[in-house]
Amino acid sequence: MCTNNEIEKKILNIRRECAILHSKGDKEGAFKKIREGWDSLPYPKVAHDMSYLVLERFFELCLEYKEFDLANKWISIMFIAAKNRLDDGHREFIAAKLAYEQDNLEIAKELFEISNIKSEGVLFRGKEQKKYRDLIR
């Protein structure tokens, strides 16, 4: 059995490897690598602090590659993963982006508004967030 520190190191390495595969355009390899991260978490997986980081990267890939059906199957897990993590609106932001990219604008708007309140606007900074910011203004 691995210690929490060993699991943390392993997950961070897997995220880096996943990012490299993604930057090379290896969609299949990137998804396989992040799945390896999920599989390496001890049960119950969602109780582990690192579950959030694995899921966060997974949803980034799903959004990038437009794997919406896959993301939709997993999105509820995001809201119960690593519950001791600061509730800064990031979970809602990820779910809102997923809804937005599927033209589910009513749901996206609701989730973006929650995210904006929780994050005090931090998640909406930067030009890459403009389209999301515009939806709630």
23, 42, 68: which is the final residue of a domain? Answer: 68
Task: Provide the pLDDT for residue 71.
Answer: 98
Please check whether residues 90 and 54 belong to one and the same domain.
no
* pTM summary value: 0.92
9, 39, 68: which is the final residue of a domain? Answer: 68
Residue 2: is its pLDDT beyond 80? no
pLDDT, tens digit, 9 for 90 and up, residues 7-23: 999 999 999 999 999 99
Q: How far apart are CA 102 and CA 65, in angstroms?
A: 13
Positive/negative CA dihedral, 59, 61, 65, 69: negative
Parent domain of 2: 1-68
Please check whether residues 62 and 112 belong to one and the same domain.
no
Please check whether residues 91 and 36 belong to one and the same domain.
no
Please check whether residues 91 and 55 belong to one and the same domain.
no
